[in-house]
């Protein structure tokens, strides 16, 4: 079954109802096509791209992200840039922008206009992540959308927010895991240096830090090497506590001392 025929069956038109299986199948296809990204623009753009023509005739997403320029995308791409020209895409873009940038409460319920369902969304903040809010607009040609389309809009918006939150939390967890592994290796390297050279913890860390700076290597990578080999190869210009540092290498002829 081609997408256009599927859309005609799946949508709830004013002149009659359809089976729930067809609608659920279309929603499932859109959700399966949703990009798993921590960037809300990428995830919501994939929703707009997949929703046409399976669930609506035109889909617009408008986003306002903290500290970034507003973002908006419409599928299919409007053939005219004139919002007064009467195209459904231009009307959807104009309506969603008015909702978003007109300071409408993002927590409000979906709003049904002449041919569009406007679904505001605003996810709960995640510490350390930029917040965002926006509007998902599903537009239909030639008729006023029903409560079913309003529910679909909310479902898609909530699903996209959940995907973004999941990806952000997963990235945050991976970062914490890497930091934890790095701290373990640094602690192990410090312990080796403390035992080997009779240093305090602060002195061992300072030695690692100076060796990292002089060798132009990341502290975590240097600590991992010490933890694996049990040896810190001091670079030129770095010495142990109470010892003169190794002199830097000098360039010159072979006979130069």
Please report the DSSP string for the chain in residue order: --HHHHHHHHS--TT----HHHHHHHHHHHHHT----SSHHHHHHHHHHHHHHHT-SEEEEEEEETTS--EEEEESPPS-S-TTS--HHHHHHHHHHHHHHTT--TTSPPEE-SSEEEEEE-PPP-TTS--EEEEEEEE-SSS---HHHHHHHHHHHHHHHHHHHHHHHHHHHHHHHHHHHHHHHHHHHHHHHHHHHT--HHHHHHHHHHHHHHHT--HHHHHHHHHHHS---PPTT---TTSPPPPPP--S-TT--
148 vs 156: which has the higher pLDDT: 156
What is the share, in percent, of the chain residues with pLDDT greater than 90?
Answer: 24
pLDDT above 50: residue 74: yes
pLDDT above 90: residue 249: no
pLDDT of residue 33: 94
Structural domains of the chain in order of their starting residue, each with its CATH number = 3-169 (3.30.450), 172-229 (1.10.10.10)
- Average pLDDT of span 216-240: 84
The string of pLDDT tens digits covering residues 106-140 is: 555 567 778 888 899 999 888 888 899 999 999 98
pLDDT above 80: residue 168: yes
pLDDT above 60: residue 80: no
Give this prediction's pTM: 0.65
177 vs 89: which has the higher pLDDT: 177
């Amino acid at each position: 079954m081609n997408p256009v025929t599927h859309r005609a069956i799946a949508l709830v038109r004013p002149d009659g109802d359809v089976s729930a299986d067809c609608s659920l199948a279309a929603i499932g296809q859109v959700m399966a096509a949703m990009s798993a990204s921590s960037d809300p623009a990428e995830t919501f753009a994939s929703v707009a791209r997949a929703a046409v023509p399976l669930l609506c005739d035109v889909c617009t997403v408008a986003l306002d992200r903290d500290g970034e320029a507003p973002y908006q995308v419409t599928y299919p791409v409007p053939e005219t840039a004139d919002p007064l020209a009467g195209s459904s895409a231009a009307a959807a873009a104009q309506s969603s922008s008015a909702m978003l940038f007109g300071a409408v409460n993002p927590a409000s319920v979906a709003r049904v206009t002449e041919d569009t369902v406007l679904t505001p969304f605003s996810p709960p903040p995640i510490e350390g992540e930029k917040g965002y809010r926006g509007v998902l607009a599903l537009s239909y040609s030639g008729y006023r959308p029903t409560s079913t389309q309003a529910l679909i809009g909310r479902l898609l918006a909530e699903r996209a927010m959940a995907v973004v939150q999941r990806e952000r939390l997963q990235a945050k967890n991976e970062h914490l895991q890497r930091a934890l592994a790095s701290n373990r290796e640094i602690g192990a390297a410090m312990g080796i240096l403390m035992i080997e050279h009779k240093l305090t913890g602060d002195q061992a860390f300072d030695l690692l830090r100076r060796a990292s700076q002089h060798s132009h290597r990341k502290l975590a990578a240097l600590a991992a090497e010490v933890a694996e080999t049990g040896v810190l190869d001091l670079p030129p210009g770095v010495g142990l506590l109470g010892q003169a540092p190794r002199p830097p290498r000098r360039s010159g002829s072979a006979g130069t001392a």
